[in-house]
């Protein structure tokens, strides 16, 4: 579409079609579930659970449909959950939580997934901010979080048990509309306060149709899910996308390492969705199991390097298809499709320093914008911007932040990228980020959120947090502490950081007398700070943080390990005057 052809500012436009002009037929989750009401349509496998590598349960679509409807009726009758009510759901992966997510949305209520390793402070904020009416607890929730849950609580197991004898109530499902809010996914973004991404039933299902088309889900039916369901990737792709397309989800409670291949073989898995760190771990050792049904692995949620992609494919013989998206556009905005031409795919992986994320998916427009708001030409870097029917309605009760991210009629991602044109198709690449956000193992973490967590635990004086490139995690969390007597601060620092919640715990703390790099107004220069952690780029960290002294004389040595200028672009492709060059 040309600049002139696009109507006025509207981040929900797709090929000139506004959000109200529906581009799919089934526009609510209850309408999708209706597909499986009849026994004949519902016989196909829907969900199989694995706990620590052991098969623990199985549902057909017929069984899943009625379990979801009964659970929805139980939520309404016994817990007073109604249309628009927000329900916190906190758990590691388990089949009960999969069903609860669907049940909450099926009656028009709003599910708010929260990771089971979230900090007490953030959980308390989310619960209060959305004014939740119920807390559903699954597996892996630490007992110390119960103290901050000031609302009615029920376990997923007891909820499903009570629902077993409950009769479904069709009226609860009939009143759900396409634009009704279905889920609030919280993302830390660039601020210390997490923002709630508001997604409707229609948003979720447009993206589901996009994934059905891109990944040929009519034939690639067995989907292995090892990512957490509270993450946009697993929620939107593995769960919603699979239910929409009638796929079989094999849900694992955790990443099982090399044992994953046995599960993939036994369940005839066609597609595995993973993050780059998992691919790196799987590429570290060869396996002898034949996996004739596994078509490819989808890598998303964090940047994929060409070296990881090539190492994984060389070790396993399984292709990697990279995707890209963010919670604000439901899940994927672009992905490498199942039926991509092999020659094109080889070029997209090998010719540029970073592999391509593929073309824009159905229902979504992707553009590269220059600082003046104009559209970039091919091979010219700019900000990645998105519009379409999968774009969120906004951030929950945050009008200022919503207006900012929707400036000039686009969803501004804060990511840098470029595109190339091959055989008449645009293929996009991600080269870096405008934001300060840390992406560790695919999860977004705000540096300021980490700083506030540390501040609540003790007084370390002047300190600042940053993300630094790390081969194992994509990025890791580092904190630099400025003190006059580094020796005295070592023990205190270890004690305070040991109390941090796992999600926000820095993996490296550097203590020194050098000043925290900052502007004249005191704003921390996090990219400059990241260069002090260059020596840890290849370190694989355990649970306890590393606390080390910083000697100003080591700055040069750090720079020899990894060129500090490389941190400016986080592995970006080589550029010259705004143009992206091919380094090979």
- Length of the chain in terms of residues written: 584
Whether 266 contacts 238, CB under 8 Å: no
**Residues paired with 427 in a beta bridge:** 420
Q: What CA–CA distance (Å, rounded) separates 346 from 151?
A: 53
Q: What CA–CA distance (Å, rounded) separates 565 from 567?
A: 5
Q: What CA–CA distance (Å, rounded) separates 307 from 277?
A: 12
The separation between the first and the last C-alpha atoms of the chain, rounded to the nearest angstrom, is 31
pLDDT digits (tens, 9 = 90+) for 255-293: 988 889 999 999 999 999 998 878 988 887 777 788 999
pLDDT of residue 288: 74
Q: Give 445's contacts (C-beta < 8 A, 6+ positions apart).
A: 188, 437, 438, 439, 467, 477, 503, 504
**Residues paired with 433 in a beta bridge:** 415
DSSP 558: H
φ/ψ of 409, rounded to 5, equals 80, 20
pLDDT of residue 127: 96
For CA atoms 491, 495, 497, 503, the dihedral sign is positive
- Every domain of the chain and the residues it spans: 29-433, 438-568
Burial label for 491, CB within 10 Å (0-12, 13-18, 19+), is exposed
Q: What is the DSSP string of 308-374?
A: HHHHHHHHH---EEEEEE-GGGSSEEEE--TT--HHHHHHHHHSSSS---BSBPTTEEEEEE-TTSP
Q: Give 81's contacts (C-beta < 8 A, 6+ positions apart).
A: 75, 87, 104, 107, 109, 133, 134
The whole-model pTM stands at: 0.82
Instruction: Give a three-class secondary structure readout of 204-238.
Output: HHHHHHHHHHHCCCCCCCEEEECCCCCCHHHHHHH
What six digits make up the tokens of 131?
A: 């004014």
Give the CA dihedral 406, 411, 414, 420, nearest 10 degrees.
-140
φ/ψ of 545, rounded to 5, equals -65, 150
pLDDT of 553 strictly over 50: no
- Would 29-433 and 438-568 be classified into the same CATH topology? no
Mean pLDDT of 335-352: 94
pLDDT of 337 strictly over 70: yes
CA-based nearest residue to 418, from 174, 271, 582, 226: 582
With bands split at pLDDT 50, 70 and 90, how would you rate the model's confidence at 416? Answer: confident
pLDDT of 83 strictly over 70: yes
Mean pLDDT of 320-328: 95
Q: What is the mean pLDDT of the chain?
A: 88
pLDDT of residue 466: 95
As its CATH architecture, domain 438-568 has 2-Layer Sandwich (3.30)
pLDDT digits (tens, 9 = 90+) for 39-63: 666 789 999 999 999 999 999 999 9
Q: What CA–CA distance (Å, rounded) separates 177 from 83?
A: 10
Phi-psi region of 433 (alpha: psi -120 to 50; beta: other; left: phi over 0): beta
Query: Where is average pLDDT lowest: 72-86, 196-210, 462-476?
Result: 462-476
Q: Give 134's contacts (C-beta < 8 A, 6+ positions apart).
A: 75, 79, 81, 85, 87, 88, 151, 152, 153, 154
CATH superfamily membership of 29-433: ANL, N-terminal domain (3.40.50.12780)
Instruction: Give a three-class secondary structure readout of 145-192.
Output: HHHHCCCCEEEHHHHHHHHCCCCCCHHHHHCCCCCCEEEEEEECCCCC
Bridge-based pairing of strands 45-51 and 248-252 is parallel
Instruction: Give a three-class secondary structure readout of 391-423.
Output: CCCEECCCHHHHHHHCHHHCEEEEEEEEEEEEC
């Amino acid at each position: 579409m040309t600049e002139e052809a696009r109507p006025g500012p509207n981040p929900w436009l797709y090929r000139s079609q506004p959000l109200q002009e529906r581009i799919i037929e089934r526009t609510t989750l209850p309408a999708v579930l209706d597909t499986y009401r009849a026994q004949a349509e519902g016989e196909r496998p829907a969900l199989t659970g694995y706990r620590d590598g052991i098969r623990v349960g199985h549902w057909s679509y017929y069984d899943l449909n009625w379990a979801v409807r009964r659970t929805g009726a139980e939520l309404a009758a016994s817990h007073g959950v109604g249309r628009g009510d927000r329900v916190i759901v906190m758990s590691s992966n388990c089949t009960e939580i999969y069903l609860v997510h669907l049940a909450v949305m099926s009656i028009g209520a709003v599910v708010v997934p929260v990771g089971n390793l979230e900090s007490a402070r953030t959980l308390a904020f989310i619960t209060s901010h959305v004014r939740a009416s119920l807390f559903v607890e699954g597996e892996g929730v630490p007992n110390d979080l119960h103290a901050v849950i000031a609302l009615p609580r029920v376990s997923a197991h007891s909820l499903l048990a009570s629902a077993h004898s409950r009769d479904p109530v069709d009226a609860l499902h009939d009143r759900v509309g396409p634009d009704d809010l279905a889920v609030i996914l919280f993302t830390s973004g660039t601020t210390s306060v997490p923002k709630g991404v508001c997604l409707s039933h229609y948003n979720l299902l447009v993206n589901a149709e996009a994934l059905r088309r891109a990944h040929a889900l009519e034939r690639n039916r067995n989907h292995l899910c090892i990512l957490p369901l509270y993450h946009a990737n697993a929620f939107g792709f593995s769960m919603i996308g699979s239910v929409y397309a009638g796929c079989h989800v094999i849900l694992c409670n955790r990443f099982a390492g090399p044992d994953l291949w046995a599960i993939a073989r036994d369940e005839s898995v066609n597609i595995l969705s993973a993050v780059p760190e998992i691919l790196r771990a799987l590429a570290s050792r060869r396996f002898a199991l034949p996996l004739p049904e596994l078509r490819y692995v989808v890598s998303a949620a964090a940047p994929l390097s060409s070296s990881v992609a090539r190492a994984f494919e060389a070790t396993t013989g399984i292709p990697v298809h990279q995707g890209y998206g963010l919670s604000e556009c439901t899940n994927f905005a672009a992905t490498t499709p199942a039926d991509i031409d092999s020659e094109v795919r080889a070029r997209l992986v090998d010719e540029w320093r970073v592999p391509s994320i593929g073309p824009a998916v159905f229902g979504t427009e992707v553009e590269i914008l220059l600082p003046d708001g104009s559209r970039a030409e091919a091979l010219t870097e700019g900000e990645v911007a998105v519009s379409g029917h999968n774009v969120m309605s906004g951030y929950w009760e945050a009008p200022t932040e919503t207006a900012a991210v929707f400036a000039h009629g686009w969803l501004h991602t804060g990511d840098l990228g470029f595109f190339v044109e091959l055989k008449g198709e645009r293929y996009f690449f991600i080269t870096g980020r405008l934001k300060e956000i840390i992406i560790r193992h695919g999860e977004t973490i705000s540096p300021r959120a980490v700083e506030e967590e540390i501040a609540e635990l003790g007084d370390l004086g002047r300190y600042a947090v940053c993300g630094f490139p790390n081969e194992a995690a994509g990025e890791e969390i580092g904190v630099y502490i400025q003190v006059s007597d580094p020796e005295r601060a070592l023990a205190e620092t270890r004690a305070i950081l040991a109390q941090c919640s796992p999600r926000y715990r820095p993996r490296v703390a550097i203590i020194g007398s050098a000043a925290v790099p900052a502007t004249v107004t005191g704003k921390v220069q996090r990219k400059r700070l990241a260069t002090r952690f260059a020596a840890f780029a290849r370190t694989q960290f355990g649970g306890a943080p590393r606390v080390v002294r910083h000697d100003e004389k080591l700055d040069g040595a750090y720079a020899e390990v990894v060129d500090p200028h490389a941190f400016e672009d986080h592995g970006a492709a080589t550029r010259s005057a705004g143009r992206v060059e091919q380094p090979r």
